[in-house]
Chain A
Amino acid sequence: MRLYVNGIGMIGPGLVGWRDHQAVLTGTSPYRETMRPEPVASILPPNERRRSSDIVRWAVHVAQEAIEQAQVNPREVATVFASSCGETDVLNRLCTALATPQRVISPTLFHHSVHNAAAGYWGIATGSQQSSTALSCYDSSLCAALLDAAAYVHIEGGLVLLVAYDLPPPLPLYATRPLREGFAAAFVLAETPGQHSLVQLDLSLSDDLSLNVTSMEEAGLETLRSTNPAARSLPLLAAIAGHRATPVCLEYLEYQRLSIRVTPCRS
């Protein structure tokens, strides 16, 4: 199945913005993992920005970057938000309050606990009334989102904004899912090529487990890839940054692979 990437957003340690840091992914710039990302998410109204969790700002930040690069009206773009663990900071605060004798929880905290909180905030910030899905597929959340977005653009037409994001959970939840670093990536995907198309993606599902899963050459990036479900997008981002035809193979659950042929739309 074929689709096109019209815009990209990226935030993670040493990877603060697609435009400035894609050269890190191709190895032409050094990877400085100590560079700490600070999501801005300026599209959020001040009130919403103040109330939102860190993870919402990470997700909205890359969504905004991708949409601006694609130069599209976000009200015309459906969304797929993918996170393995979702709002762990909010869940920690809720479960802490529920473990007290009074069990008093804030109504704001409660409606921020939904897995589609980031998707909801994006909708509020943009006023978009297009379809929005929030999903989880544990370590394969990115692959599930790519399939969901690809099926959407093919059946429904138009554009889809895919956002993959995961942050390390706070203590004590961290023990359940020790993600070392945060990462978020966003892609604006289209069924047909346009003037802003960066690459063409040809996706195919395979049950041939002998296909080697693509890893990152740089050790620090490989650690990031293998320890954050959203950073499983790094090989795809690196292939797009490479500006040449490149095969990428992602692990999809235990028994499948998602093969992606990445072909540049312009040199």
Chain B
Amino acid sequence: MKCEKSVMAPLVLSAYTLVSALGKGLEPTYRALRDRRSGLRPCDFEDVGIKTYIGRVDGLEDSSAGCGSTAQELEQFDCRNNRLALLGLQQDRFMQAASEARDRYGAHRVAVILGTSTSGILETEHAYHERDPQTGVLPASFTSRYRYTHNMFSLAHFVRTCLNLRGPAMVISTACSSSAKAFATASRFIETGFCDAAIVGGVDSLCLTTLYGFSSLELMSSDPCRPCDEDRDGLTLGEAAGFALLEKADRAEHSGAVALLGYGESCDGYHMSHPHPEGAGAIRAMHDALRRSGLTPGDIDYINLHGTATRANDSIEDKAVSSVFDLSTPCSSTKGWTGHTLGAAGITEAVIAAMCLTHSFVPGTLNTTRVDPNLRSYVLLENREQPVRRVLSNIFGFGGNNCSMILGTL
């Protein structure tokens, strides 16, 4: 049996950044949230013929992961996912913050724990087009770089190489919950002393596998997604790279710094792609996050929903949220801005939560016109100015893998 655990020591996000369809870095992200400007556009990814919208990051087709770097070793990592990763690292002085952490603790004492669901699979998709028509053999230029592009570890390998870090590293790949779970694992690594600080977050980029895959599951809307709307008809895919530097709270440079206060991880143990009908796993994750942070449901000022805009997710998440929280707790989904960034959804929404905390506002659900009357939670449709001290963020994924995080100000 699990023993009762004490409240975790908060960990400060001493630097963080995000690149998504909303823009590069915190400032354009914040402006888009405040101006209620969506990053979604009609699908113009490669030659994909699906009628849908996407949250695409501009310019990834033209740049190279090695660009601007003198290190030749970075070139072998070049693929859409790592280009997006590099673009993320280059925003908001994140590389400098990581470099300072390396100087402070030593390269061996800074971990890199990141999430992705599909890594650089787009390279493999392209390589299958270029198979030898007689033998079926993949191009040699692809096979020699597989380790650095598509292999699941590629992302963390690339980031620790970029940042010249030598601490513990791994990629967590639990579908959509990947980068949320990176926070939980990193938190345990810091607490047990495997490292002093950790680069956490995740990257997922557009590819044929997810576009045609979600389409085959009939889970993708042909319009921009409308979370919690009575007429919602599916999700919109997006791509994003986000990173945070996680350290012990005594590193907080000012009161009001954003910190990870708690996390909860669970499984549905029910179905690979359909959530548990009663939301049992989701309820467990939220309860665990509250217990670990030492907070009660009434302490949460805002809930950033997983809110994918599929019929099943939004109604089951609503059941779970309304069974844990008071029905007056404001909730919203920000997927209408960014799309569902899959393995990067955890860090995407952690960074949005940090903005709510530092800018005292709550985003209302974008694209939604009428909240499904069957939902019991208090779903906000308009942005609201209000003090926000603690945010709970839900992330649920395929394989019934759930993670809830609580971020707050110190």
Residues of A participating in the B interface, judged by any CB pair closer than 8 Å: 1, 75-76, 83-86, 91, 94-96, 98-99, 103-107, 110-117, 119-121, 123-124, 126-138, 141, 144, 147-148, 150-152, 154-158, 171-173, 175-177, 205, 207, 252-256
Contact = CB atoms under 8 A, between A and B. Distances in A.
B105 interface: no
* Chain A to chain B: the 7 pairs with minimum beta-carbon distance, closest first: A120-B399, A110-B213, A115-B173, A136-B152, A176-B146, A131-B265, A151-B188
A131 B267 contact: yes
Contacts of B124: 91, 95, 173
A157 B2 contact: yes
B335 interface: no
Contacts of A119: 174, 267, 399, 401
B67 interface: no
Contact of B128 (A99, A127, A148): A99
Nearest to B217: A107
A120 B400 CA distance: 7
A246 B397 CA distance: 41
B270 A124 contact: yes
Interface residues of B, number: 69
Contacts, number: 221
Task: Please classify the interface of chain A as helix (H, G, I), strand (E, B), loop, or mixed, using the class held by over half of its residues.
Answer: mixed
A68 B101 CA distance: 44
Interface string B182-196: 001101110110100
Contacts of A151: 185, 188-189, 191-192, 194
Contact of A177 (B1, B151, B270, B272): B151
Contact of B125 (A95, A106, A126, A138): A95
B51 interface: no
Nearest to B135: A172
Given A131-B267, A155-B5, 4 more contacts: A110-B217, A123-B268, A134-B172, A137-B171
A116 B173 contact: yes
B272 A111 contact: yes
Nearest to B8: A155
A224 B301 CA distance: 54
Contacts of A152: 188
Contact of B108 (A110, A148, A255): A255
B131 A129 contact: no
B395 interface: no
B279 to A, nearest CB: 11
Interface stretch (B31-39, B136-144, B243-251, B377-385): B136-144
Contacts of A137: 153, 156, 169-171
Given A123-B267, A171-B136, A95 B153 contact: no
A157 B5 contact: yes
B138 A105 contact: no
A94 B209 contact: yes
